Amino acid sequence: MDKQITVPERITIKTGKGGLQYLDLRCNGAEAHVYLHGAHVLHYQPAGQAPVLWHSKESLFEANKPIRGGIPVCWPWFGAHATDTTLPSHGYSRYSEWVPVASSASATATTVTLRFPASQGRSALAELTVVLGSSLEVTLATTNTGSSAMPLSEALHSYFAVSDIRTVSITGLDQEQYVDTLLAGRPILTQEGPVAFEAETDRIYINTTRECVIADPGMHRSIRIGKKGSLSTVVWNPWIAKAARMPDFGDNEYPEMVCVETANCGPNALSLAPGQTHAMTTRIDVETP
């Protein structure tokens, strides 16, 4: 890694679980950890607050496995590949080493950019920029470096730490349409009121640019999730049965987390023209009484 990426007391290179390297970002008491493996933001803790992102104690920190939790980068497709079921779910970027290419530090923000270069027959370049300040802002930029149109579906698959999934709610999606991926035929339904949880939930809210807020009375805080360049919001919790089926997710961990993902997927998948760049941003703020 280029040592010029480091900034004294602001950006340092550390070795984490499984021997994987990460960038430790600091800014005015806030901290974030960005793993090179998958350009994965695993940890975010605002100054004076509890950690905001969740990750499983059963997560496999291995070079050929994705990390379970934090903010995985799903790219350049979301979910199963459209035509080749042998390819990994959510794309190959989660399994790959990204390269830090830029960094900076100011009085109010610490910033790093990692790149997943076009290579091995891929005609697309991705860059992830993480800005740590009074909030956490993560931007995924995709450039089609090929000579033909490029299909793109993507997500910043954010896992948020909550006190108890059964008592939290999500506002900002009232009257929005969503695809319920757990129902036969994947029907499009309409959200009524806040999103609450009492069973496995896997929904793609479509054609929405709205901000979402996770209200967590048990932790006495709200997590505000804004976005740009995104028309989909995915809400997911595996609940009991699916949690038990996943080897890298603890059987009893499902109450501790909820995913609210900034995405372009399902009916909102994109097509990039040759030379076109698309950027998608999620911004995470924490509010306490």
Higher pLDDT pick, 17 / 85: 17
Angle at the Cα of 141 from the Cα atoms of 136 and 145, rounded to 5 degrees: 165
Q: Please state whether 172 falls in left (phi above 0), alpha (psi between -120 and 50) or beta.
A: left
pLDDT-above-90 percentage for the chain:
87
Residue-wise pLDDT for 178-208, tens only, equals: 999 999 999 999 999 999 999 999 999 999 9
Could you give the number of structural domains in the chain? 1
Q: What is the mean pLDDT of the chain?
A: 95
pLDDT of 266 reads 93
Angle at the Cα of 104 from the Cα atoms of 35 and 52, rounded to 5 degrees: 45
- pLDDT exceeds cutoff 80 at 98: yes
Distance CA 203, CA 192 (A): 14
pLDDT of 2 reads 56
Both structure tokens of 224: 């505000």
Give the mean model confidence (pLDDT) for residues 51-73: 95
Q: What is the CATH number of the domain that holds 157?
A: 2.70.98.10
Amino acid at 137: E
Higher pLDDT pick, 95 / 103: 103
Residue-wise pLDDT for 149-177, tens only, equals: 999 999 999 999 999 999 999 999 999 99
Q: Residue 254 — very low, low, confident or very high, per pLDDT cuts 50/70/90?
A: very high
pLDDT of 137 reads 98
Give the mean model confidence (pLDDT) for residues 268-285: 97
Give the mean model confidence (pLDDT) for residues 33-42: 97
Domain coverage including residue 66: 3-287
Distance CA 41, CA 33 (A): 6
Its pTM stands at 0.96
> Whose CA is closest to 72, among 282, 287, 276?
282
